[in-house]
Amino acid sequence: MFKEKNYVVIKNAISKDKADFLFRYFKLKREVAKTMFAKNWLSPYATEWGQWNCPQIPGTYVMYGDVAFDCLLEELRPLVSKHTGLDLVEQYSFARLYKKGDELKRHKDRYSCEVSTTLNLGGDPWPIFIEPDPTKGTKDSSGYKSEYTKGIQIDLEPGDMVAYNGVDLEHWREPFNGEICGQVFFHYNTSDHAQEHENKYDGRPHLGLPDNFVNKRLYKFPDGKVKELDKEQLKKIRHDDYQRQIKAIKE
């Protein structure tokens, strides 16, 4: 089914109890991070306790490569492989605690997200939309262009996940009317080429490490070519992340 439709819903990927535990864990982690940043316990450049400067939704708490979520990334790989029919390589986990008014704009993901998944940890219900036609939505040097198609609405209960081809399929969430919604994304590459193994763990030496441990990473450019970028080139792509972090902490 995944090979024809490019997405698949996996009900009860983890138990409701496990989802609830991880939701509470993640909310407490946000509180701990907030206190430590406020008391100057952490440097504003620290990323290992999460950040509020993600360019997609600035001001909303996100966590790249959390140790618990990266463990789950590894644990769920066989299940996601089974449902997609693809041999997969772990890339990274990314989690977000959405708040009222948040909106996930229509977009396509970067190369490390050939198979993206989002798993509902808990909070208020909030559907994700996926456009199944990969020709819709294009990215070039002037930015991302959408045709604003209707897409398919996918509703997930805590513990459910949807796996989709994040590089090819446009996906988004409409403005959120609830109070809080915890989602964790697990990203995988297919293991068709030797190159994908070099991109394992999103270019990090092993799981659980922050994004800035990356030395090299594969990127897919608008012309479809996949190129390896080094740390300096990646830094340029990361624009003013640190400035946003300092501003978010002060607000």
At 231 the three-state DSSP class reads helix
Nearest residue to Fe ion on Cβ basis? 109
Q: Which of residues 100-119 bind Fe ion (CB under 5 A)?
A: 109
Q: How far apart are CA 64 and CA 86, in angstroms?
A: 24
Residue 108 CB, nearest approach to Fe ion (Å): 7
Q: How far apart are CA 188 and CA 110, in angstroms?
A: 11
Instruction: Compare residues 90 and 109 and give the one whose CB is closer to Fe ion.
Output: 109
Number of residues that bind Fe ion (CB under 5 A): 1
- x-marked contacts with Fe ion along 65-104 as a string, rule CB under 5 A: ----------------------------------------
Residue 235 CB, nearest approach to Fe ion (Å): 22
**CA angle at residue 188 from 184 to 193, to 5 degrees?**
170
- x-marked contacts with Fe ion along 186-215 as a string, rule CB under 5 A: ------------------------------
Residue 131 found at the interface with Fe ion (CB under 5 A): no
Classify residue 239 as exposed, middle or buried by CB count within 10 Å of its CB (0-12, 13-18, 19+).
Answer: exposed
**Closest to 62 measured CA to CA, from 251, 250, 241, 243:** 241
Instruction: Kindly list the residues in this chain that would bind Fe ion in the complex (CB under 5 A).
Output: 109
